């Protein structure tokens, strides 16, 4: 009873650390740019106007994901109806991921390994930062951890309800990002192993597969309905991208270089100061470890990691970090397997100490010690000041010095404050506002001397390109106003 009591305190301590890192100074440290503004606009229509989304955000290739992301955010939006409340909900889901990795490692490798691996996940700087941001790929590590937790239970207990839940987790993952289709292959691998190694009967595997498909299909119903209404253009488009990627071939040196690039970006979620050379060393040591301990778990982790890397090598476009999020749990599970393989005593205690020391180093690298960009206060304050400046007159605006690809974060707050900007390219409005979206703003002279000013906008207003308007010839500078303790600046122009 005493051991159980102490273990619960260990788990609670790790959850407390994970929660503190994710919610501390949340409003200052979370990102709020165009993608987050787009999501908040859709959530506002969802809750306020009853417009249920049946398609999700678009990928960089222009294809819609599933709408499950918006459904997952609903509790957070209902909590406050504000970006801070939704960010808080996303942060709490990140804490759930810590709990899930704790439970997963516990059932696979024991309590001691669960403690140190959950701590390592809890303080990972990349995961801490991602767990605050309202963005669909950032939920992939959570549901990847849920997937492996459920899959292990389904493999060992073989219950139809658990296979159904595995299907639901895969359905959610596929809707969060298309590379997550890889999880279907992992399930197939487990079915194959069950048939060959555990001697499961064919009808048992078939029944489990049908339950899994039922869970997958139920999760995909809204998205499949949307695809039916648009002629399945998104699914066909994604299939085309995958097909085109199959023909991509790299030379041996390029393959090794790109593979190590992907590998260290994944490994960097678990251990600090990662680059190609340390990644090559660690993966070489892991390969030797698997040769000496070729357990089913180690083989599964290897297929997940190396197979995932190989799958992304076939993609012909730029592989951004979030494309690799479906592999994020694997390094943590690899470390857990190595720790558990040592004999109890000095060696295992030494490995525990090393992992705890790495966790401490990771903790020092988290962004809670940084100043932060204060996106939410800056944008909210800027829009409030714009409302005072325009005073119900027709106006338009654009952004400068921004890392965002759209102005939807400003448009969200404008809609919330009942402001209706006119399209900048339409003309006919009396006041034009240039909002500097960062602290490093141009001087008035630098801005007023510009003959043409690009208009940051999005497809609805600009048909997939950024136009520009004459500035110095058609607009007269009136004044400029600092935003939120000089976190930004507004430049006010009146029509000549």
The model's confidence at residue 7, banded by pLDDT at 50, 70 and 90, is: low
The Cα 338–Cα 302 span in angstroms is 13
- pLDDT for 169: 97
Residue 490: domain span: 375-495
Sign of CA dihedral 91, 93, 94, 95: positive
Tell me phi and psi for residue 404, to 5 degrees: -85, 150
27 with 85, same domain? Answer: yes
Pairing outcome for strands 395-400 and 431-436: parallel
The model's confidence at residue 160, banded by pLDDT at 50, 70 and 90, is: very high
**Domain final residue, candidates 353, 369, 385:** 369
The Cα 114–Cα 44 span in angstroms is 39
Say if residues 119 and 17 touch (Cβ distance below 8 Å): yes
Per residue, what are the HEC states of 119-186?
HHHHCCHHHHHHCCCCCHHHHHHHHHHHHHHHHHHHHHHCCHHHHHHHHHHHHHHHHHCHHHHHHHHH
- pLDDT for 406: 87
For range 423-437, the mean pLDDT: 88
Q: Which of the given ranges, 3-7, 171-175, 230-234, 317-321, has the highest pLDDT on average?
A: 171-175
Per-residue pLDDT tens over the stretch 113-150? 999 999 999 999 999 999 999 999 999 999 999 999 99
The Cα 390–Cα 395 span in angstroms is 7
The Cα 421–Cα 432 span in angstroms is 10
The Cα 337–Cα 139 span in angstroms is 25
Q: Where are the alpha helices (DSSP H) in 371-436?
A: 375-390, 408-416
Query: How many domains are there within the chain?
Result: 2
The Cα 402–Cα 148 span in angstroms is 39
**Domain final residue, candidates 347, 369, 391:** 369
362 with 434, same domain? Answer: no
Say if residues 44 and 83 touch (Cβ distance below 8 Å): no
80 with 137, same domain? Answer: yes
363 with 414, same domain? Answer: no
For range 54-58, the mean pLDDT: 85
Q: What number of other Cβ atoms are within 10 A of residue 353's Cβ?
A: 11
Higher local confidence (pLDDT), 5 or 94: 94
- pLDDT for 1: 43
349 with 477, same domain? Answer: no
The model's confidence at residue 5, banded by pLDDT at 50, 70 and 90, is: very low
Say if residues 438 and 488 touch (Cβ distance below 8 Å): yes
183 with 328, same domain? Answer: yes
| 8-state DSSP, 323 | G
pTM: 0.91
The Cα 405–Cα 459 span in angstroms is 11
Residue 355 C-alpha from the chain's centroid: 25
Q: Kindly tell me if the per-residue pLDDT of 343 is higher than 70.
A: yes
Q: Kindly tell me if the per-residue pLDDT of 245 is higher than 70.
A: no
Helices (H) and strands (E) in the chain, counts: 21, 6
384 with 417, same domain? Answer: yes
Distances in Å between the alpha carbon of 331 and those of 113, 170, 287, 304?
13, 20, 13, 10
CB half-sphere exposure, 120, CA atoms < 13 A: 31
124 with 148, same domain? Answer: yes
The helix or strand, by DSSP H or E, that contains position 488, with its residue range, turns out to be: strand 488-495
Q: 483 in helix, strand or coil?
A: strand
Q: What number of other Cβ atoms are within 10 A of residue 473's Cβ?
A: 9
Say if residues 313 and 255 touch (Cβ distance below 8 Å): yes
- pLDDT for 423: 85
Helix, strand, coil share of the chain (percent; to 5): 65, 5, 25
304 with 449, same domain? Answer: no
Helical packing angle, 329-341 and 276-292, nearest 10°: 50
For range 291-299, the mean pLDDT: 94
Q: Kindly tell me if the per-residue pLDDT of 338 is higher than 70.
A: yes
Helical packing angle, 34-48 and 83-109, nearest 10°: 100
Say if residues 320 and 312 touch (Cβ distance below 8 Å): no
The Cα 493–Cα 135 span in angstroms is 34
Residue 262 C-alpha from the chain's centroid: 17
| Per-chain mean pLDDT for the chain | 89
- pLDDT for 391: 84
The model's confidence at residue 461, banded by pLDDT at 50, 70 and 90, is: low
Record the tokens describing residue 417, joined without a space.
Answer: 């404050």
Per-residue pLDDT tens over the stretch 246-271? 555 667 778 888 899 999 999 999 99
Q: What number of other Cβ atoms are within 10 A of residue 56's Cβ?
A: 25
Pairing outcome for strands 468-470 and 452-454: antiparallel
164 with 15, same domain? Answer: yes
**Domain final residue, candidates 323, 348, 369:** 369
Burial classification of residue 422, based on how many CB atoms lie within 10 Å of its CB (0-12 exposed, 13-18 middle, 19 or more buried): middle
383 with 405, same domain? Answer: yes
- The answer for residues whose C-beta is within 8 angstroms of residue 197's C-beta and 6 or more apart is 296
- pLDDT for 459: 56
109 with 167, same domain? Answer: yes
């Amino acid at each position: 009873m005493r051991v159980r009591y102490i273990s619960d305190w260990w788990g609670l301590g790790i959850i407390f650390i994970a929660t503190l890192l994710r919610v501390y100074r949340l409003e200052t440290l979370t990102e709020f740019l165009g993608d987050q503004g787009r999501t908040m606009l859709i959530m506002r229509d969802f809750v306020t106007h009853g417009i249920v989304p049946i398609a999700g955000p678009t990928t960089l290739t222009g294809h819609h994901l599933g709408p499950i992301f918006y459904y997952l955010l609903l509790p957070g939006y209902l909590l406050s109806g504000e970006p801070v409340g939704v960010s808080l909900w996303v942060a709490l889901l990140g804490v759930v991921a810590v709990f899930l990795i704790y439970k997963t490692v516990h059932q696979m490798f024991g309590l001691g390994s669960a403690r140190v691996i959950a701590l390592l996940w809890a303080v990972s700087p990349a995961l801490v930062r991602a767990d605050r941001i309202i963005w669909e790929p950032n939920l992939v590590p959570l549901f990847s951890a849920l997937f492996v937790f459920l899959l292990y239970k389904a493999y060992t207990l073989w219950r139809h309800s658990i296979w159904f839940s595995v299907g639901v987790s895969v359905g959610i993952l596929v809707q969060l990002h298309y590379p997550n289709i890889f999880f279907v292959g992992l399930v197939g691998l487990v079915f194959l192993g069950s048939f060959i190694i555990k001697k499961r009967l064919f009808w048992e595997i078939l029944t489990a597969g049908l339950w899994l498909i039922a869970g997958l299909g139920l999760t995909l119903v809204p998205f499949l309905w949307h695809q039916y209404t648009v002629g399945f253009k998104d699914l066909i488009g994604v299939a085309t991208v995958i097909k085109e990627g199959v023909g991509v071939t790299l030379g041996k040196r390029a393959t090794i270089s790109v593979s190590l690039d992907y590998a260290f970006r994944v490994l960097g979620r678990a251990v600090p100061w990662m680059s190609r050379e340390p990644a090559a060393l660690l993966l070489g040591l892991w390969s030797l470890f698997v040769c000496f301990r070729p357990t089913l778990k180690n083989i599964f982790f290897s297929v997940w990691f190396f197979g995932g890397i190989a799958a992304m090598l076939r993609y012909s476009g730029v592989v951004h970090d979030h494309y690799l999020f479906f592999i994020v749990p694997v390094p943590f599970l690899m470390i857990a397997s190595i720790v558990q393989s040592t004999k109890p005593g000095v060696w295992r205690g030494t490995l525990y100490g090393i992992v705890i020391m790495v966790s401490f180093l990771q903790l020092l690298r988290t962004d809670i010690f940084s100043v932060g960009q204060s996106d939410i206060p800056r944008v909210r304050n800027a829009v409030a000041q714009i409302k005072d400046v325009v005073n119900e007159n027709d106006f338009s605006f654009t952004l400068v010095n921004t890392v965002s690809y759209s102005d939807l974060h400003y448009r969200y707050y404008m809609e919330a404050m009942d402001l209706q900007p006119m399209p900048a390219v339409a003309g006919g409005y009396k006041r034009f506002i240039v909002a500097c979206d960062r602290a490093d703003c141009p001087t008035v002279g630098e801005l007023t001397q510009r003959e043409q000013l690009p208009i940051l906008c999005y497809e609805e207003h600009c048909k997939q390109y950024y136009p520009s308007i004459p500035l110095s010839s058609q607009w007269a500078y009136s004044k400029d106003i600092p935003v939120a303790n000089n976190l930004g600046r507004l430049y006010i122009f009146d029509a000549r």
